[in-house]
């Protein structure tokens, strides 16, 4: 299951008529996952004290082409579930009919999972809780592939995302720990622009939690997933800077706001 279903992050600036309400639909669809989750809400007008209202009486449906797969069940507070296991490589359509604002929809393709291996795992590297490791995988033959790398500690079924550091230039972000070393407090998004169709080895060090299971996930994600999550990160970084430009949150929902995005997860125990 995707560790961070970020649809609860409601900072969604947009261009247009701020007096008009919009439907916000958020749904991640994962290859091989037994349940699909969605959230539905409405933006409110500038005169409202609450910028979002949860919608629990919408009709949310998932389609394979023109064939209806199923209708989501509302579980309250704008959350919906559908017992269905998506297939890798398929393109799905989601439709949401809000009784007040009408229908919105989106399409996404679920990527194929990408196998990876852990090599040269060294516990106690510099610190007792630091694990050094290499992650190796083969990038696909398509023109563009996108990935999401994260580590987490499993506290009796409650995941806690771990931080890590690396000197890999293609993983560069804005949080530089020291010269040529880049530090991630949570997860890492990257594309294959610098290694398309090649074998990739990532050398990194992870700050683990001692005496419990620590895991690594490599998600092969759709371009919509990548663009949405990157825009969320940029917006979070810009929110504390009074001199930064506002960040437009990416959306692929036709007629509304939000995200419908596919992913496929491979996971290994960090040991």
Give me the phi and psi of 131, to 5 degrees please. -115, 125
For position 233, what pLDDT does the model report? 82
For position 206, what pLDDT does the model report? 94
Which residues lie closer than 8 Å to 179 by C-beta, 6 or more apart?
A: none
For residue range 202-236, what is the model confidence (pLDDT) as tens digits?
Answer: 999 999 999 899 999 999 999 999 999 989 888 87
- More confident site: 250 or 173: 250
For residue range 52-108, what is the model confidence (pLDDT) as tens digits?
Answer: 899 999 999 999 999 999 999 999 999 999 999 999 999 999 999 999 999 999 999
For residue range 237-257, what is the model confidence (pLDDT) as tens digits?
Answer: 777 666 566 778 999 999 999
User: Residue 48 above 70 pLDDT?
Assistant: no
For residue range 145-164, what is the model confidence (pLDDT) as tens digits?
Answer: 999 999 999 998 889 999 99
User: Residue 16 above 70 pLDDT?
Assistant: no
pLDDT band at 173 (very low <50, low <70, confident <90, very high): low
What mean pLDDT is predicted for residues 46-55? 72
What is each CA distance from 96 to 63, 85, 90, 226, in whole angstroms?
A: 11, 19, 20, 22
Q: Give the position of tokens 């800077």.
A: 241
Alpha-carbon distance 170 to 192, whole Å? 9
User: Residue 34 above 50 pLDDT?
Assistant: yes
User: DSSP string spanning 65-112?
Assistant: TTEEEEEPEEEETTEEEEE--PPTT-EEEEEEEETTTEEEEEEEEPPP
For position 266, what pLDDT does the model report? 97
Q: Which two tokens stand for residue 220?
A: 């092969």
Partners of residue 81 on adjacent β-strands: 37, 73
Q: Which two tokens stand for residue 266?
A: 């491979």
């Amino acid at each position: 299951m995707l560790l961070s279903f970020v649809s609860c992050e409601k900072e969604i600036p947009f261009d247009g008529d701020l007096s008009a309400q919009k439907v916000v639909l958020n749904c991640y669809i994962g290859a091989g996952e037994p349940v699909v989750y969605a959230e539905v809400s409405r933006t409110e007008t500038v005169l409202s004290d609450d910028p979002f209202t949860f919608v629990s009486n919408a009709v949310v449906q998932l389609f394979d082409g023109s064939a209806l797969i199923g209708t989501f069940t509302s579980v309250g507070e704008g959350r919906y579930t559908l017992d269905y296991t998506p297939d890798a490589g398929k393109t799905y359509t989601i439709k949401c009919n809000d009784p007040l604002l009408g229908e919105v929809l989106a399409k996404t393709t679920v990527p194929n999972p990408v196998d990876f291996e852990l090599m040269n795992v060294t516990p106690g590297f510099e610190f007792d809780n630091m694990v050094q490791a290499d992650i190796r995988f083969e990038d696909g033959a398509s023109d563009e592939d996108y990935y999401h790398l994260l580590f987490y500690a499993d506290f009796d079924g409650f995941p806690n995302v771990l931080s890590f550091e690396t000197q890999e230039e293609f993983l560069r972000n804005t949080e530089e720990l020291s010269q040529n070393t880049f530090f991630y407090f949570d997860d890492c998004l990257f594309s294959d622009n610098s290694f398309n169709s090649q074998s990739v080895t990532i050398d990194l060090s992870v700050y683990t939690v001692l005496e419990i299971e620590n895991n690594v996930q490599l998600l092969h994600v759709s371009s919509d997933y990548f663009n949405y999550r990157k825009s969320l990160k940029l917006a979070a970084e810009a929110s504390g800077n009074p001199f930064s430009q506002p960040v437009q949150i990416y959306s692929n929902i036709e007629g509304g706001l939000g995200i419908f995005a596919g992913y496929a997860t491979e996971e290994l125990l960090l040991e």
